[in-house]
Structure 1
Amino acid sequence: MSVDTVISATASLTSPLSLIHEASSAPGWWRSAVIYQVYPRSFRDLNGDGIGDLAGITAELPQLAELDVDAVWLSPFYKSPQRDAGYDVSDYCDVDPIFGTLMDFDIMMAEANRLDLRVIVDLVPNHCSDQHVAFQAALAAPAGSPERDMFIFRDGAGHDGNEPPNNWQSHFGGPAWTRIMGPDGSPEQWYLHLFDSSQPDFNWDNPAVHAEFERVLRFWLDRGVSGFRVDVAHALVKAPGLPAWGGRPDGGNSDGFPGHEAPMFGQPAVHDIYRAWRRILDEYGPDRILCAEAGVDLHRLAHWVRPDEMHQAFNFPYLHAGLDVYRLRGVITDSLTVLNGVGAPSTWVLSNHDVVRHASRFGYNGSGPRDGDGIGPADHQPDTGLGRRRAAAASMFMLGLPGAAYLYQGEELGLPDGIDIPEHARQDPTFARTGGERLGRDGCRVPLPWRSAERHLGFGDGDDPWLPLPASFTELARDAQAASPSSHLSLYRNMLALRRELGLGRGSLAWAEDWCSGSSLAYVNGATLVIMNLNHEPLELPAGHVLLRSAGPDAGHFLASGATAWLRIDGGGTE
């Protein structure tokens, strides 16, 4: 459709429109889905041990179906020593006892199917736990053995091999290499771990590693899952020779070290792995999906979602754009343009288990916490009221966009980060590996409040939760919000129902130029105008029926500061 056609179809909107994305009818439920991330240990504790479990997820799945999401994504629940909250897997085909059993998983799947909810599970293929049987066999075997070749072992540098093989650093702080000791106590080779020392990296140059993960995929597909979110999907293959790297450990751009040159990320051979996986998923039908957690720029991200590779990839540039309207516009335009080029939908996300919740991040007018770090009691504190208002506005703006949206558990309640967490209770390995210099991610992982009058706010009625719930969560509990038509939860319910009714996930996008400024941003999706006002003053709205607004009194055709509105435009829209 031409821009001229769009303008004539929206005669009541005097703003010129810049069309960048047309409506889509391509097959695939995942192209427009709303997917809800469940962090199992913090969702609901049904057995009373202070840690969430699969039975707790099963019990509360009706609440998610009522929220009108399409699928649930489960963070790791596999057998694990829990050194990194389950991202250190010791058995990829079993459930950790703290979460339940495989039978509990099957019961959960049956309930999800009854509620017409799809289930996506996390897959962690870059590394495993040092307690995994394969790594234990590697430790017991000699250098150069097939067992060692499952991982990345190297002789050390320097005198007697006392220095790490190269200068790579761990994401969690410190070197990315640990030296092992032989049976007689003498030092031997070093192994690579891009994350914690308890998480050795697999050697994806070894066909045996490929075969093992293809077995894992089939195990969970046979149990009915709808797909996999692939952890650090850009990291599996390392550059030949493991060359030195002077840039950031996470491969982000820095002076003199562009991220695309990082030798531990984005290597071309990684795409052959995902092509093979895609073929396996296709055997199970067209509705099984792969979603990449790949920390690369948008233009490179398109390589992960080509037609024969993954279906989706997380849009981290959008998450990190914050409330900067210029960055947001640029990221949205680039996302849709670049991904349209390979026939893939964009995804949108504002929070997850690795970042400060957006209800806290947006409570700062200046700089807030850095990525991967939480907020402590000694830090500059966010304005909680401002953060919640802006979070609601940002969520409404995001949910109007065409494509798929990911929600993080508790964001529908407007939950902030947990701040008053005692040092002895912190469990993120970043905190320990940096000697407390970095707080880590525990704050965004505190358990959910379900019922305001119950012990531990309904998270569990037994032992104290693994992380303390903030006192402010009492008034944010789900039952308290469900009773209020003006609550954050009610807003999410209304947004998600209206998003489905209007078909926004399958819609188009054109920028409404006259409403895009340094403090506001607006676009048209079909016949719906979405406007976010970040000015200090109310914003007069164009002609049209207000369908929903994120905050503020119903002040006719004025939009409150820090709010978003959806309007039905007289005369049609961009489709």
Structure 2
Amino acid sequence: MTSRPDAATTDWWRHAVIYQVYPRSFADGDGDGMGDLPGITSRLPYLRDLGVDAVWISPFYPSPQKDAGYDVADYCDVDPLFGSLADLDTLLATAHELGLRVIVDLVPNHTSDQHPWFRAALASPPGSPERDRYIFRDIDPEAPGEPPNNWESNFGGPAWSTTTRYPDAVGPDQWYLHLFDSSQPDLNWENTEVRDSFDGVLRFWLDRGVDGFRVDVAHGMIKAPGLPDMEIRDPGAVGTDATTGEADAAMASTSTPYWDQDGVHDIYRRWRQILDSYPGERIMVAEAWVQPIDRIARYVRPDEHHQAFNFAFIDTRWDATALRSVIAASYRVNGAVNAPTTWVLSNHDVIRHATRLALAPEEAVTQLAGPVTTPDRATGLHRARAATTLMLGLPGSAYLYQGEELGLPEVLDLPDDVRQDPTFFRTRHTTHPELGRDGCRVPLPWVSDAPGFGFGSADPWLPQPEIFGGLAVDVQTGDPASTLELYRRLLTLRKELHLADGTAQIVSPGEDADADIVAVDVTCGDARVRLLCNLGTAPWPVPEQAQVIASSTPGITRLVPTDCTVWLTGLGSHGE
């Protein structure tokens, strides 16, 4: 086991900035066009110099790659596509030597259909112990084409498929549940063997030295008793009200019988005991898309997850009232259970915020992007830099998605024949086709004039647009106006001023400003910094006594332009 960075430091996760690495697209170490673990290891000094505290690595487990590794065939090994267990050990040791912690993805809601358990289930009769590890249901002889209920896959289409692989079966013998692709059957978490097995998975990676887990679909796993039909609701009522930061009762995630069921919390309390038995403060962070926002507090109670992604924030439109509301609600909800608010703007499942924030409201869907028009790149980048500057000044933890520090946009025009996201294939011939998530997963540009922009020596698994060359790391390094140097500057100041450990208060920066301005005073000890984001159409004057110590738009000293965030000091004890 390698030593942990800052092992004596407690509660490191309360203020950490954690960088998500999507292995396929970060760096290719062996020249096959696919990112891998040695590639990640070679770029860890870049992440240290960026100023992050930890790295979260998306799945690298053996997998048929039907859903880019989120279809796991073996939870305790490395897919040869990405390297070996020895490569993972080297990555962990190198990261810890550089002062970086490493969090790995855990995918407990479902396995691959190539997992030995599911293959055994298909080779066994209905009612067998092998099938009880998953969620199988009998076919109704009176309506053989009707699934057991009306649940829909998160990737489009029905959440049920039939199997004919039982050797003695004639025709389909049972339905099985898959809340995602049909190659990702849901596990039965009421089964003791399933729970015991995952205890072993956690211990395998903790023994190897990982610092924690990002829990995929943390609001899934437990389904409502009897698997009742999902209530069909008015589509216009779905989603968080970004004006209030809340959702009405009809939008509660618990009203969907396969999300946010109370039984998931028993699993996490059990896992927390395992993590707490290891040295060095190993953590869990929940990917829980739950509504209303108050529900997220249940996942970060003291005996469950340490963090939960703030998806209410990522879902909020570019509107001052909406942002103020969700920031206030986030602190209220997490503060009630003494948990940090965990801010995030982009990840591998959503439209990159350098594109999303410039979309028209009716197109600005966050997750599993549908077809959209190409927005103005300059507007998107200005807003992305402003949103990040606001986020990184707020107390709590924060997650960054690879490439956002370069200002990368979503790649919206990938050819159909290179797309790989199952969402695209499951919806392309429906009334609501979706592009899927490939556009945020295009490999990173490192060197502007190198093959694959320095990603690797072979053509990348997804093609990079020409504009990526001008956004490469080598082009932006040393340019004080670049997005990369903005991130480095913000992360340095965040640590120097201890902003992540402070307290936040939303304030009014002046008369008649509330409609267009988000202003938050962050206090840590005797120091106070005002975060001021201008979402209006007119410049906002900086008070004479204030100093601009950081700005999302270069060169700001006296007037804060539209779509710009500044950090101000020198405002006095009451912000006057």
Per the normalisation by structure 2, the TM-score is 0.91
TM-superposition CA deviations, 1:4-56 (whole Å, max 9, x none): xxxxxxxxxxxxxxxxxxxxxx9400000000000000000111111100000
Contact 2:275-2:282 at 8 Å conserved across structures? yes
Matched, 1:518 2:515: yes
After TM superposition, the structure 1 stretch with the greater mean CA deviation from structure 2, 258-267 or 520-529, is: 258-267
Which of 161, 166, 179 aligns to 2:162? It is: 179
Distance in 2, Cα, partners of 1:375 & 1:509? 36
Contact 1:247-1:254 at 8 Å conserved across structures? no
Q: 1:257 to 1:407 in 2, by over 3 A?
A: closer
Distance in 1, Cα, partners of 2:54 & 2:326? 25
Find the residue that maps to 2:476 and give its secondary structure: helix
Distance in 1, Cα, partners of 2:428 & 2:151? 20
TM-superposition CA deviations, 1:135-165 (whole Å, max 9, x none): 1001101111110000001112352643211
Instruction: Report the counterpart of residue 459 of structure 1 in structure 2.
Output: 455
Q: 1:255 to 1:163 in 2, by over 3 A?
A: farther
- Amino acid corresponding to residue 484 of structure 1 in structure 2: D
Find the residue that maps to 1:514 and give its secondary structure: coil
TM-superposition CA deviations, 1:478-533 (whole Å, max 9, x none): 00000311100000000000000000100111122135522111011011011001
Matched, 1:392 2:389: no
**Any residues of structure 2 matched to 1:313-392 within 5 Å, and which?**
313-374=308-369, 379-392=372-385
Distance in 2, Cα, partners of 1:126 & 1:247? 24
Distance in 1, Cα, partners of 2:325 & 2:248? 21
Instruction: Report the counterpart of residue 282 of structure 2 in structure 1.
Output: 288
Instruction: Report the counterpart of residue 145 of structure 1 in structure 2.
Output: 128
Find the residue that maps to 1:93 and give its secondary structure: coil
**Any residues of structure 2 matched to 1:18-29 within 5 Å, and which?**
27-29=10-12
Instruction: Report the counterpart of residue 17 of structure 1 in structure 2.
Output: none
Instruction: Report the counterpart of residue 568 of structure 2 in structure 1.
Output: 567
Find the residue that maps to 2:221 and give its secondary structure: coil
Matched, 1:118 2:101: yes
Instruction: Report the counterpart of residue 531 of structure 1 in structure 2.
Output: 532
- Amino acid corresponding to residue 201 of structure 2 in structure 1: V
Task: Using the aligned pairs only, state the percent identity.
Answer: 54
Distance in 2, Cα, partners of 1:255 & 1:84? 32
Distance in 2, Cα, partners of 1:255 & 1:511? 27
Instruction: Report the counterpart of residue 261 of structure 1 in structure 2.
Output: 255
Distance in 2, Cα, partners of 1:498 & 1:39? 27
TM-superposition CA deviations, 1:257-311 (whole Å, max 9, x none): 6432211111111111000000000000351101111111221111111111111
**Any residues of structure 2 matched to 1:11-410 within 5 Å, and which?**
27-157=10-140, 159=142, 161-181=144-164, 182-184=166-168, 185-247=170-232, 258-285=252-279, 287-297=281-291, 298-374=293-369, 379-410=372-403
Q: 1:256 to 1:117 in 2, by over 3 A?
A: closer
Matched, 1:439 2:422: no
Distance apart, 1:74 and its partner CA: 0.5
Contact 2:72-2:111 at 8 Å conserved across structures? yes
- Amino acid corresponding to residue 120 of structure 1 in structure 2: I
Which of 549, 552, 571 aligns to 1:550? It is: 552
Which of 488, 496, 502 aligns to 2:491? It is: 496
Distance apart, 1:565 and its partner CA: 0.5
Distance in 1, Cα, partners of 2:295 & 2:125? 39
**Which of 1 and 2 has higher RCO (CA within 8 Å, sep 6+)?**
1
Distance in 1, Cα, partners of 2:367 & 2:121? 32
Distance in 1, Cα, partners of 2:495 & 2:252? 40
Find the residue that maps to 2:117 and give its secondary structure: helix
Distance apart, 1:571 and its partner CA: 3.8
- Amino acid corresponding to residue 560 of structure 1 in structure 2: P
Distance in 1, Cα, partners of 2:574 & 2:114? 57
Find the residue that maps to 2:13 and give its secondary structure: helix
Distance in 1, Cα, partners of 2:503 & 2:345? 21
Distance apart, 1:381 and its partner CA: 1.2
TM-superposition CA deviations, 1:175-223 (whole Å, max 9, x none): 1001111325421011000000000000000010001100000000011
TM-superposition CA deviations, 1:122-144 (whole Å, max 9, x none): 00000000000011001101111
Find the residue that maps to 2:19 and give its secondary structure: strand
Distance in 1, Cα, partners of 2:282 & 2:46? 24
Distance in 1, Cα, partners of 2:65 & 2:160? 20
Distance apart, 1:368 and its partner CA: 2.7
Unaligned runs of at least 5 residues, structure 1: 1-25
Distance in 2, Cα, partners of 1:529 & 1:169? 45
Find the residue that maps to 2:532 and give its secondary structure: strand
Which of 410, 416, 419 aligns to 2:409? It is: 416
Q: 1:289 to 1:82 in 2, by over 3 A?
A: same
Q: 1:411 to 1:92 in 2, by over 3 A?
A: same
Distance in 1, Cα, partners of 2:263 & 2:70? 23
After TM superposition, the structure 1 stretch with the greater mean CA deviation from structure 2, 482-491 or 367-376, is: 367-376
- Amino acid corresponding to residue 553 of structure 2 in structure 1: A
Contact 2:252-2:290 at 8 Å conserved across structures? no
What do you get for the CA RMSD once the two structures are aligned?
1.9
Q: 1:301 to 1:375 in 2, by over 3 A?
A: closer
Find the residue that maps to 1:364 and give its secondary structure: coil
TM-superposition CA deviations, 1:415-471 (whole Å, max 9, x none): 001122110100000111112521101001100000001001000112x11111111
Q: 1:366 to 1:302 in 2, by over 3 A?
A: closer
TM-superposition CA deviations, 1:544-569 (whole Å, max 9, x none): 11101110433x32112211100112
Contact 1:230-1:291 at 8 Å conserved across structures? yes
- Amino acid corresponding to residue 303 of structure 1 in structure 2: R
Find the residue that maps to 1:546 and give its secondary structure: strand
Distance apart, 1:93 and its partner CA: 0.4
Distance in 2, Cα, partners of 1:362 & 1:301? 24
Instruction: Report the counterpart of residue 5 of structure 1 in structure 2.
Output: none
Q: 1:257 to 1:38 in 2, by over 3 A?
A: closer
Find the residue that maps to 1:355 and give its secondary structure: coil
TM-superposition CA deviations, 1:210-247 (whole Å, max 9, x none): 01100000000011111000001011101111011134
Give the count of matched residue pairs: 545
Distance apart, 1:374 and its partner CA: 3.7
